[in-house]
Amino acid sequence: MNEAYRRWAWVAVLVVGLILYIAVLRTMVDTRNPNFVPTTILLGATVVPATFLTFAAGRSGRWQVPAWILVAAAFFGGVVGVVVAGQLEYETLRDMGALPMFFVAVIEECAKLIVPVVILIGLWRRRREPSDGLVIGVACGAGFAALETMGYAFTALLASGGNIGAVEETLFVRGLLAPAGHTAWTGLTAGALYALAARPSGRRVWVFLGTLLGAIVLHALWDSIGAILGYVVLGAISVGWLLLEMRRYRTFEVASGQAGVARRRQATAA
C-alpha cells in the first residue's frame, strides 16, 4: 500500500492542484476581483513543478529524504537561485554590455546548486545517495522554475494591460514545460554531485563536470531557440536523461546496500 501510494501520489497532487487552480480562476473571472490574481499566478506556477517533484520522489528509490528537506530545498533553492543568478547576470550585463545565452546558462545552473551543496555538507550528511541528490535537485529546480514563471506571468499581466488571457497562456506554457527545464537540469547535476560525494573518485569528478556541462548546453539551447519542435526535442532529451539516471541510481542504492550487508555478515562470521 505504501509503495503504491509513493509511486502514484503525484496524481493526487496534480488533480488537487488543478481543481484549486480552476476554482480560483473561475472565481476571479466571475467576480472580476483582482485580489484573486496573485493566488491564480501562485497556483498556476507551482502545480506542475510540485507534481513532478512528487513523481521524482516516489520513483527515485526508498523515499528517505524527509518532506521538510524537500520543502526547504524548493523554497530556499528557488529564492537563492533566482537572487544569485539575477544579481550575477545584472553585474555581468553592466560590465560587458551583452550576455551570451551560454553565460546565462552557466550562471543559473551554478546558482541552483548552492542549496543542494549546503544540504549535502550541513543538513543531510548521514546519507549521500545520488537518488537523494537527484530529488533535492529537482526540488530546487522546481522552486526556481515556479518563481520564474510567477515573474513572467506578472510581466505578462502588466504588458497586456491586465489581460488575464495573457497570464493564463504564460502559466500554461511555462507550467507545462517546467519538468523539461530547470527541474530536470538541476536534478541531473545534483544527482551527479551526490554520487561523487557518496563514492569519490576521479571518474566521478568528470561525470559530474560532464553532467553540469550537459545541463548548461541544454539550458543555452533552450534559451536560444523559439520553435515548438525544438522545445519538444530538448524537453524529451532532458526528461529522458533524468529518468535514465533515476533508474541507474536505484541500482546504485541496491548495490551499495548489498555490499553493506555482505560486509556486516563477514564481520559477524569473524
Residue 252 has pLDDT above 60, yes or no: yes
- Cell 501510494 belongs to 5
- Mean pLDDT, residues 131-158 taken together: 94
Residue 167, C-beta contacts closer than 8 angstroms, at least 6 positions apart:
37, 40, 41, 44, 153, 156, 157, 160
pLDDT tens by residue, 234-248: 999 999 999 999 888
The pLDDT tens digits for 88-125 are: 888 777 666 556 778 889 999 999 999 999 998 886 56
Side chain identity, residue 131 = S
CB count, 10 Å around CB of 207? 15
pLDDT band at 2 (very low <50, low <70, confident <90, very high): low
The amino acid present at 89, given as its one-letter code, is E
Kindly report the average pLDDT of the chain as a whole number: 85
Q: Taking a C-beta distance cutoff of 8 angstroms, is the pair 249, 130 a contact?
A: yes
Domains of the chain, residue spans: 64-269
pLDDT at 196 over 80: yes
The pLDDT value recorded for residue 228 is 84
The pTM assigned to this predicted structure is 0.86
